[in-house]
Amino acid sequence: MVKENEVSAASLEWRVNMPSGSSQILVPESRQTCRLLSLIMGLVSNIRKFFDKAWNLAVNEPKKVIHCLKVGLALSIVSLFYYMRPLYDGVGGNAMWAVMTVVVVFEYTVGSTLYKCVNRAIGTCLAGSLGIGVHWVASQSGDRFEPVILQASVFLLAAAATFSRFIPTIKARFDYGAMIFILTFSLVSVSGYRVDKLVELAHERVSTIAIGATICLFITMILCPVWAGTELHHLISTNLEKLADSLEGYAAENFRVDGSKNLDEKDSSKRLQGYKCVLNSKAAEEAMANFARWEPAHGKFNFRHPWKQYLKIGASMRSCAYCIETLYGGINSNTETPEFLKKPLNDVCMRLGTSSSKVLKELSSMLKTMTNSTKLDILVDEMNSSVEGLQNALKTLSSYQHIPPPDPKTEEAPNGTEESILKPTALSLMEIVQMATLTSLLIEIASRIEGIVKEVNELASQAKFRDESSKKSKQTQTKLNENDGNEHEVTMTTLQKV
């Protein structure tokens, strides 16, 4: 039987003979096709996500799309000086400098474009005139000393201009101009050693740079201008609203009444991002304030508008946002405040958080409308009274003993009555410290909000905000005029019918 099984197994054996020297591994074609299809689908998915993000950006911020169209229009106009023969003959072969000027100078806001245009013009003119003067002095000294004088001038002036970029006042307002001065002076000095008609070359480059800068300024100030001052004003008022939402959201989340629902995750994350935006806006505020100084009077803002005061308001808001960040950090901590400690202070803490949020929202409305608010003093008094109420509640609460009753299991624990007494006492001490930290932070936030109020009132006095009563009187007069006009139309219609 065994032999028969062996014979039958041998008869059913399959053998594949491969040619000698071949060591290829056969991979099914279907697997290679699946890999190729997965790579193609992944590439298509990434491209689709990119276009979706670009579309959402264009929908949410149409000003950026308009800016792109303005840059394209400026380059199209400047390129005519290179394509059209009469214009090309007028500016010479340096027409490409106008194209380069548009690419380098054209920025998103009017202030940043003005900043670069003025700095480029000053740096180019100053460096060009100095370069021509140094070239004349070097040419008069003879062929032997000419390269020495040119190299020494490049070394000294480039080193001095580079050092000036470390001075804070020059770095803030003329950093780009110093860089253009170094570049232009080096080009003029080096090229003047080999070029005979240096004055004509410098004149053509200055004229082409002036043409490019003029076109940039004309387009950015006429076609849908984006003012840096307006963007800064809007940023500060929006950050005040976000700060108020974060504070109000914390009060609703931490001091909610029993049985009330928690905040949604989307709403909670939105409020969380509010104070983070305030903390991360320092660089944007400083850049916008610097560019706003270069802008002419526009809209509600005069030429001498106090843009530096916005930086002080932003600094006060960030000091308040740091306290709010600490409050939100307490929500995620391992030590939670028990209800028997939180319940007596729920109402006063909720009242303080709400009143502080109202003050911030009123300040935001005050900035948006640029009017002096009549409600601000009342809201500040309410916030201060809420602070006094919280301090009185803490004094009342401190007269009681807040150590929870000992656990029966802890009392019956062997080997040590000392451990059974110290453990609940230590736990209650941590709970009391947690609650004391929370209430002290709320009181500190109220005091820092008063600092924001002080800075906003200073801005209102410097910028000469109009009174709210005059605004209401104008609105009332407008409504009366409209009513008089409607009555006049009705009377004329009646007379015509008669």
Structure tokens at 248: 């109000």
- What is the Cα gyration radius of the chain? 37
Q: Is the dihedral of CA 78, 83, 88, 94 positive or negative?
A: positive
Contact 220, 113 (CB under 8 A): yes
Q: Using one digit for the tens of pLDDT, what is the confidence trace for 416-473?
A: 444 433 344 444 566 667 777 788 888 999 999 999 999 999 999 998 888 866 555 4
Spatial CA neighbour of 456 closest among 352, 353, 376:
376
What is the b/e burial string over 269-308, where b = at least 16 CB atoms within 10 angstroms of the residue's CB?
Answer: eebbebbebbeebeeebebbbbbbbbbeebeebeeebebe
Q: Using one digit for the tens of pLDDT, what is the confidence trace for 144-197?
A: 887 888 888 889 999 999 999 999 888 888 999 999 999 888 887 776 555 556
Question: Domain residues of the chain, as ranges?
Answer: 51-220, 227-399+426-479
Q: Is the dihedral of CA 326, 330, 334, 340 positive or negative?
A: positive
List helix spans (H) across 192-295: 198-222, 228-254, 265-279, 282-292
Query: Which pLDDT score, from 0 to 100, does residue 342 have?
Result: 65
Structure tokens at 234: 């809007």
Q: Using one digit for the tens of pLDDT, what is the confidence trace for 468-498?
A: 665 554 554 555 455 555 544 544 454 344 3
Residue type, 413: A
What's the rounded Cα separation, in Å, for the pair 267 and 264?
5
Contact 424, 406 (CB under 8 A): yes
Cβ-in-10-Å burial (0-12, 13-18, 19+) of 390 comes to: buried
Fold observed for domain 227-399+426-479: Methane Monooxygenase Hydroxylase; Chain G, domain 1 (1.20.58)
The SS3 assignment for 205 reads helix
Structure tokens at 421: 């007494």
Contact 123, 112 (CB under 8 A): no
What's the rounded Cα separation, in Å, for the pair 382 and 348?
12
Q: Using one digit for the tens of pLDDT, what is the confidence trace for 332-359?
A: 655 566 565 667 677 888 888 889 999 9
Structure tokens at 39: 């790579």
Q: Using one digit for the tens of pLDDT, what is the confidence trace for 68-100?
A: 999 999 998 888 876 666 666 655 566 777 888
pTM exceeds cut of 0.85: no
E-assigned strands of 294-420?
371-372
Percent share of the chain, pLDDT over 70: 70
Phi then psi for residue 475, to 5 deg, are -65, -40
Secondary structure letter of residue 94 according to DSSP: G
Q: Which residues contact 351 (CB under 8 A, 6 or more apart)?
A: 386, 389
The secondary structure of 469-480 as a DSSP string is HHHHHHHHHHHH
The SS3 assignment for 117 reads helix
